[in-house]
Protein backbone atom coordinates (compact mmCIF):
# COMPACT_ATOMS: atom_id res chain seq x y z
CA UNK A 1 0.00 0.00 0.00
CA UNK A 2 2.66 2.52 1.01
CA UNK A 3 4.95 1.53 -1.87
CA UNK A 4 2.18 2.36 -4.32
CA UNK A 5 1.43 5.62 -2.55
CA UNK A 6 5.04 6.76 -2.87
CA UNK A 7 4.73 6.51 -6.65
CA UNK A 8 1.48 8.53 -6.76
CA UNK A 9 1.68 12.18 -7.66
CA UNK A 10 -0.78 14.95 -6.86
CA UNK A 11 -1.46 17.33 -9.71
CA UNK A 12 -2.66 20.81 -8.89
CA UNK A 13 -4.91 22.49 -11.44
CA UNK A 14 -5.60 26.16 -10.87
CA UNK A 15 -6.80 27.12 -14.33
CA UNK A 16 -10.47 28.14 -14.21
CA UNK A 17 -12.53 26.38 -16.85
CA UNK A 18 -16.27 26.54 -17.61
CA UNK A 19 -18.37 24.20 -15.44
CA UNK A 20 -19.56 22.10 -18.40
CA UNK A 21 -15.97 21.49 -19.50
CA UNK A 22 -14.96 20.78 -15.90
CA UNK A 23 -17.66 18.10 -15.64
CA UNK A 24 -16.40 16.46 -18.85
CA UNK A 25 -12.83 16.57 -17.56
CA UNK A 26 -13.87 15.01 -14.24
CA UNK A 27 -15.80 12.25 -16.02
CA UNK A 28 -12.84 11.53 -18.28
CA UNK A 29 -10.45 11.22 -15.33
CA UNK A 30 -12.88 9.04 -13.35
CA UNK A 31 -13.58 6.82 -16.36
CA UNK A 32 -9.86 6.09 -16.55
CA UNK A 33 -10.00 4.81 -12.96
CA UNK A 34 -8.39 7.79 -11.23
CA UNK A 35 -9.93 9.47 -8.17
CA UNK A 36 -10.34 13.24 -7.93
CA UNK A 37 -9.64 15.03 -4.66
CA UNK A 38 -11.42 18.34 -4.03
CA UNK A 39 -11.07 20.76 -1.15
CA UNK A 40 -13.06 23.79 -0.08
CA UNK A 41 -13.18 26.34 2.67
CA UNK A 42 -16.17 26.25 5.03
CA UNK A 43 -17.95 29.40 6.25
CA UNK A 44 -20.60 30.18 8.86
CA UNK A 45 -23.51 30.06 6.39
CA UNK A 46 -22.92 26.31 6.08
CA UNK A 47 -24.47 25.96 9.54
CA UNK A 48 -27.55 28.07 8.80
CA UNK A 49 -31.14 26.91 9.41
CA UNK A 50 -31.80 27.10 5.67
CA UNK A 51 -28.96 24.71 4.88
CA UNK A 52 -30.08 22.32 7.63
CA UNK A 53 -33.63 22.42 6.27
CA UNK A 54 -32.95 22.13 2.53
CA UNK A 55 -29.39 20.83 2.21
CA UNK A 56 -28.72 23.58 -0.35
CA UNK A 57 -25.52 25.53 0.24
CA UNK A 58 -25.12 29.06 -1.15
CA UNK A 59 -21.87 30.85 -1.80
CA UNK A 60 -20.69 32.58 1.38
CA UNK A 61 -20.47 36.34 1.87
CA UNK A 62 -16.70 36.51 2.38
CA UNK A 63 -16.88 40.08 3.71
CA UNK A 64 -19.23 39.10 6.55
CA UNK A 65 -18.70 35.45 7.34
CA UNK A 66 -16.10 33.82 9.52
CA UNK A 67 -14.18 30.90 8.06
CA UNK A 68 -14.80 27.70 10.02
CA UNK A 69 -12.24 25.42 8.44
CA UNK A 70 -11.76 23.20 5.42
CA UNK A 71 -13.27 20.04 3.98
CA UNK A 72 -12.08 17.49 1.43
CA UNK A 73 -13.91 15.08 -0.85
CA UNK A 74 -12.72 12.20 -2.95
CA UNK A 75 -14.69 11.57 -6.15
CA UNK A 76 -14.52 7.99 -7.35
CA UNK A 77 -17.39 7.78 -9.83
CA UNK A 78 -20.48 9.42 -11.28
CA UNK A 79 -23.99 8.58 -12.41
CA UNK A 80 -25.53 10.41 -15.37
CA UNK A 81 -28.93 8.87 -14.61
CA UNK A 82 -29.56 10.96 -11.47
What pLDDT digit, counting tens, does each position of 5-51 carry?
666 666 665 556 677 788 888 899 999 999 988 888 899 999 999 99
Please tell me the pTM assigned to this model.
0.58
Q: Is residue 50 a contact partner of residue 56, using CB atoms and an 8 Å limit?
A: yes
Label residue 45 exposed, middle or buried (CB < 10 Å: 0-12, 13-18, 19+). Answer: middle
Tell me the C-alpha distance between 26 and 22, whole Å: 6
**pLDDT tens digits, residue range 47-75?**
999 999 999 988 899 999 999 999 998 99
Tell me which DSSP letter residue 5 carries: H
Using H for helix, E for strand and C for coil, what is the string for 15-55?
A: CCCCHHHHHHHHHHHHHCCCCEEEEEEEEHHHHCHHHHHHC
Amino acid sequence: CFKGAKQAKIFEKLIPIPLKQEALLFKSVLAKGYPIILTSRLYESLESRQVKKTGHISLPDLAKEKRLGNHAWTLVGYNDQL
